[in-house]
Structure formats: structure tokens, C-alpha cells
């Protein structure tokens, strides 16, 4: 096998080298190419490792604006949340499951900051009156009472109300429970029958009865003897102080009663229209 010099550019020093010389030249160029490709590959790997940094949440302010960096520009990120750092993590908030990073590899989103619990539970025998505004007052101007005019829009929070008037039977049941619990009434209450509305009771009797019914059902009473709301209103003829945050029974306000009685309609005499039949009257 003849030996032929190869210069620094990988060229053999002969114009027409033999076959083995071609082989050596090709092998030399092949290995040089491998070293070049390996160098390029290593550079790509290093570059890929640099791009694989973990996303970093850089800020979260009091208004719920979250900023995250270290993202690939144009990539899609998912914002997840959990009740603890141990998880489980979820992304079921609308708009947070696919957020595109900007040209700087950053996203900025508003995340949930306030929570509430809602339920569709309605106590037995009651109806839910949803929160909302309604036009309050004498729509027809028939009574010409100044207390009913002028018409005005009134907002009422959601509340429950009994679907029927308090029967003599329920009145007696509650009174039977509160007999040994410090309650006293000015009037015993009467009724044509046990399933008819109770009558011959005054306003303070009804307030006390509401408190008794609340305690009987394990709820927080609404009426108290003083502004500090420390002692429950059970007896006497003093002015009761309401605790509007209590979950017990109370009498509806004028606005609540009118909103419920309108049945969601406006400008009509009855919840179903302007006329009433004997059946509807019952």
C-alpha cells in the first residue's frame, strides 16, 4: 500500500491517487465531519437544556393578576390551582386552561381571588325569591295613598318565604315547644280550623313566635332585646332589634312581601295577571 501525503485541507498530494488513497481521504473527511456534527449536536443539546427552564411565577398581586416567565414564546401554558402545595392540582377555571405566552415568554392572567358556596336547597314549605330589583308602589294609582307613591325601583336580596300563611296547627306546635323556654305572648291565637291561618295575634306575638320556631329548628333567632343583639326577644312589649345576618325565621319586610306577592311580574294586580278567580283566591 503506497503512502500519499494529505494536506491540511484533506487533499491527497497526487492528481490521480490509487483506490486506497481515495479510501483514506474519504475516511479522514468522514471523521472530521462526525466531529463537526457532534459539536453542532452538543450545541443544540445545550440550547435545548437552556430552554427547558421551569416556568417561574414572578408576581401575584392583591387583585389576582398572576405573571409567569421562563416560557417559550408562542407556547400554550395552563394555569392550575390547588388548596395546598401537595395538590391535587386542577385547571377547571374557564380561560386558564390554555394561555399563549407572549414574545417575551411571559403570560399575565387574572386568577380567582374570591369564593362563595351556592346551593339549590329550599326549606320544606318555602319558596326561594331570587335577588333582584322590582318596581315598588301602587302601579295603578287606585289607592292614592302617599305611602304607596311615587313608584320606585327597589333592590331586594334573595330570601325564602313560606308558600302559605302560618296555620293554627303550626302556631300551636311552636307554642307547645316554647312553653318551657321563657316565651310569653299577649294573645293565644285563634283559627277557624287547624289547617286555617292563625288569627287574633299581634305583631310582637309573631316576632316572638318566629324566634321560638328558629330555636326549635336549631337556627339562630333574628330578634333581640337590644342593639348589641345579646339577649333573645322572648317576652314583653319592648321594641325588638333584628339581626339581619341570622339564618332563623322572621317577618318579611314590606319590600320583600311586595316582591314575593308580585310573583316576578310587574305592573299587574296579581302574580298571574289582572284578574282573579275564586279558585285562585283560595
Domain assignment present for residue 241? The answer is yes
CB 91 within 8 A of CB 105: no
- In angstroms, the CA 233 to CA 244 distance is 14
- Kindly state whether residue 95 falls inside one of the protein's structural domains: yes
Alpha carbon distance 77, 69 (integer Å): 11
Domain extent, residue 268, equals 126-275
Q: Does residue 70 sit in the same domain as residue 177?
A: no
Domain identity same for 188 and 245: yes
Are residue 104 and residue 136 in the same domain, yes or no? no
Axis-axis angle for helices 168-178, 203-216 (nearest 10): 70
Cα angle 161-164-166, degrees, rounded to a multiple of 5? 90
Indicate the pTM of the whole model: 0.58
Specify whether 80 is located in the same domain as 190. no
Are 101 and 207 part of one and the same domain? no
The answer to whether 97 touches 90, Cβ cutoff 8 Å, is no
| Contact of 12 with 5, CB cutoff 8 Å | yes
Answer whether residue 83 is part of any domain: yes
Q: Is residue 34 part of a domain?
A: no
Q: How many CA atoms lie within 13 A of 15 on its CB side?
A: 0
CA distance 164 to 125: 8
Q: Is residue 22 part of a domain?
A: no
Q: Which three cell numbers stand for residue 16?
A: 490521480
Alpha helix ranges (H) inside the chain? 19-51, 168-178, 203-216, 254-262, 278-281
> What's the domain count of the chain?
2
N-to-C CA span, the chain: 122
Residue 189 domain-assigned (yes or no): yes
Q: What is the DSSP letter of 148?
A: G
* CATH, residue 249: 3.90.1580.10
Looking only at the bridges linking them, the beta strands covering 241-242 and 223-224 are: antiparallel
For the chain, 282 residues long, give each residue's pLDDT as a single digit of tens.
444 343 444 433 344 434 443 334 333 333 343 343 333 333 333 333 333 456 788 888 877 788 888 777 888 888 887 767 777 777 777 777 788 989 998 988 887 766 555 566 788 899 999 999 998 888 776 666 667 777 889 899 999 999 999 999 999 999 998 766 889 999 999 999 999 999 999 999 999 999 999 999 999 999 999 999 999 999 999 999 999 999 999 999 999 999 998 888 888 888 888 888 887 776
Torsion of CA 269, 273, 275, 278, to 10 degrees: -100
| 181 and 217 together in one domain | yes
Query: Does 58 reside within a domain?
Result: yes
| φ, ψ of residue 259 in degrees (nearest 5) | -65, -45
Beta strands in 83-136 (DSSP E): 99-100, 107-110, 126-129, 132-136
157 in any annotated domain = yes
Instruction: Verify that 130 and 108 share a domain, yes or no.
Output: no
* 173-185: burial string, b at 16+ Cβ within 10 Å, e else: ebbeebeeeebeb
Do 196 and 164 fall into the same domain?
Answer: yes
- Are both 79 and 156 inside the same structural domain? no
Give the CA count within 13 Å in the CB-facing half-sphere of 5: 3
Q: Are residues 141 and 269 in the same domain?
A: yes
Q: Which among 94, 115, 136 is the end of a domain?
A: 115
To the nearest 10°, report the CA torsion of 126, 129, 131, 136: -130
Residues 99 and 138 in one domain: no
Residues 145 and 254 in one domain: yes
Amino acid at each position: 500500500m503506497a503512502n500519499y501525503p494529505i494536506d491540511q485541507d484533506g487533499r491527497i498530494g497526487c492528481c490521480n491517487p490509487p483506490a486506497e488513497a481515495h479510501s483514506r481521504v474519504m475516511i479522514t473527511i468522514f471523521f472530521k465531519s462526525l466531529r463537526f456534527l457532534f459539536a453542532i449536536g452538543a450545541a443544540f443539546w445545550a440550547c435545548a437544556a437552556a430552554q427547558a427552564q421551569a416556568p417561574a411565577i414572578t408576581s401575584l398581586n392583591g387583585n389576582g393578576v398572576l405573571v409567569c416567565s421562563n416560557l417559550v414564546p408562542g407556547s400554550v401554558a395552563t394555569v392550575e390551582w390547588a388548596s395546598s402545595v401537595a395538590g391535587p392540582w386542577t385547571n377547571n377555571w374557564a380561560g386558564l386552561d390554555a394561555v399563549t405566552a407572549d414574545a417575551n415568554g411571559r403570560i399575565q392572567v387574572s386568577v380567582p381571588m374570591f369564593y362563595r358556596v351556592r346551593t339549590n336547597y329550599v326549606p320544606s314549605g318555602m319558596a326561594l325569591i331570587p335577588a333582584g330589583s322590582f318596581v315598588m308602589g301602587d302601579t295603578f294609582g287606585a289607592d292614592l295613598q302617599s305611602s304607596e307613591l311615587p313608584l320606585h325601583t327597589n333592590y331586594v336580596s334573595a330570601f325564602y318565604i313560606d308558600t302559605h300563611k302560618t296555620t293554627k296547627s303550626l302556631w300551636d306546635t311552636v307554642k307547645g315547644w316554647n312553653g318551657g323556654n321563657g316565651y310569653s305572648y299577649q294573645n293565644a291565637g285563634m283559627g277557624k280550623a287547624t289547617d286555617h291561618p292563625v288569627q287574633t295575634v299581634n305583631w310582637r306575638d309573631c316576632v316572638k313566635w318566629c324566634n321560638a320556631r328558629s330555636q326549635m329548628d336549631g337556627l339562630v333567632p333574628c330578634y333581640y332585646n337590644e342593639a348589641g343583639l345579646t339577649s333573645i326577644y322572648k317576652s314583653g312589649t319592648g321594641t325588638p332589634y333584628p339581626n339581619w345576618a341570622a339564618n332563623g325565621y322572621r317577618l318579611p319586610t314590606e319590600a320583600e312581601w311586595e316582591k314575593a306577592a308580585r310573583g316576578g311580574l310587574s305592573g299587574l294586580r296579581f302574580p298571574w295577571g289582572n284578574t282573579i278567580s275564586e279558585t285562585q283566591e283560595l
